[in-house]
Structure 1
Amino acid sequence: MYLEHVNLVVSDIPKVLTFYQAAFPHWKVRTEGSSEWYGKPRNWLHFGDDYHYIAFSDHGEGKNRDLEGHQVGLAHFAYVTNNIEATISRLKKAGFEIAKDGATEPYRKNVYFIDPAGYEVEFVEYLSDTPEQRNLTT
């Protein structure tokens, strides 16, 4: 079993897509369209590869939860990368800055960015193939 997709409600798909295209240059728009969600029109788009994707819908209203607060909701989601420095470089080149550095761990590097919709996205590079080391927190 594996996670196939995440569905994010946003207010501006093109703006958000810029972030994810920088993070995942090998992904593409798989499909897109328009529909209605409980009486409100929306555009939607699936961005990913043949096995994983992010679904975006543009019928969002208001702001995302305060990431420094204590509201219930999504805190962040994470993607594994083989080269965290290249991921950081692509995102910075696209105009996005690191929101916060990850913890100092001997067997992984991680960093957090905030996408244009206000979702916190973690990128992780593992420096070991051994599960005990990869999952170690100090």
Structure 2
Amino acid sequence: MIRLEHINLVVADIDAMISFYGAAMPHWHVRGGGDGTWYGKPRRWLHFGDEFSYIALSDNGEGDNRNLEGHQQGLAHFAFVTSDLNALRKRMQDAGYSIAKEGQPTEFRDNVYYVDPAGFEVEFVSYLSDNPEERNNYD
């Protein structure tokens, strides 16, 4: 079995990222971190998540993230599965985060997209079936 353990993002403001992902996933916490250098540039880094997966965050990022409406190479988005998409929407709204775009709901799946403070698009998806053929239907 292979599963994604973490994603590593270079950002300008780690604390803003913790606020965003903490609103989405309130059970996540700072697992550890420190200070170091990356190719001669100082940086603060930390791991924010739970016991099984996390986002590695490093600060001192430069420039803008890719234009999400453009066609540049780069990360388009990444996704998290949630058992209660409506509760996530409410937490995000209560924390002041707006939906960037609604997904394409089907009979067996619902999803929504946000843009985090660093400009990464994040999808949250809720599956309404345990049957893989229904969950993964692309018709």
Output the TM-score relative to the length of structure 2. 0.97
The 1-side partners of 2:83 and 2:52 are apart by: 18
Corresponding residue of 2:55: 54
Could you list the per-position Cα deviations for residues 12-48 of structure 1 after superposition, in whole angstroms to 9, with x for gaps in the alignment? 0001110000011011100011000001000001001
Corresponding residue of 1:113: 114
The 1-side partners of 2:138 and 2:84 are apart by: 21
Letter of the structure 2 residue corresponding to residue 45 of structure 1? L
Q: Following TM superposition, by how much is the alpha carbon of 1:122 offset from its aligned partner in structure 2, in angstroms?
A: 0.2
Contact 1:105 1:137 in 2 (8 A): no
Corresponding residue of 1:103: 104
Give structure 2 stretches of 5+ with no counterpart. Answer: none
The 2-side partners of 1:46 and 1:92 are apart by: 25
Task: Compute the RMSD of aligned alpha carbons.
Answer: 0.7
Aligned-partner SS, 2:48: strand
The 2-side partners of 1:105 and 1:86 are apart by: 19
Q: Following TM superposition, by how much is the alpha carbon of 1:69 offset from its aligned partner in structure 2, in angstroms?
A: 0.2
Please identify runs of 4+ aligned residues in structure 1 that moved more than 4 A. none
Corresponding residue of 1:76: 77
Q: Following TM superposition, by how much is the alpha carbon of 1:105 offset from its aligned partner in structure 2, in angstroms?
A: 1.0
Corresponding residue of 1:30: 31
The 1-side partners of 2:129 and 2:6 are apart by: 26
The 1-side partners of 2:40 and 2:85 are apart by: 42
Asked if residue 86 in structure 1 is aligned to residue 117 in structure 2, the reply is no
Letter of the structure 2 residue corresponding to residue 127 of structure 1? L
Could you list the per-position Cα deviations for residues 33-69 of structure 1 after superposition, in whole angstroms to 9, with x for gaps in the alignment? 1000001000001001111000000021011000000
Corresponding residue of 1:63: 64
Corresponding residue of 2:9: 8
The 2-side partners of 1:104 and 1:2 are apart by: 25
Output the TM-score relative to the length of structure 1. 0.98
The 2-side partners of 1:37 and 1:110 are apart by: 36
Could you list the per-position Cα deviations for residues 66-113 of structure 1 after superposition, in whole angstroms to 9, with x for gaps in the alignment? 000000000000000000000111111111000000003110000000
The 1-side partners of 2:114 and 2:80 are apart by: 12
Percent identical pairs in the alignment equals: 60
Q: Following TM superposition, by how much is the alpha carbon of 1:137 offset from its aligned partner in structure 2, in angstroms?
A: 2.3
The 2-side partners of 1:37 and 1:67 are apart by: 27
The 2-side partners of 1:73 and 1:105 are apart by: 28
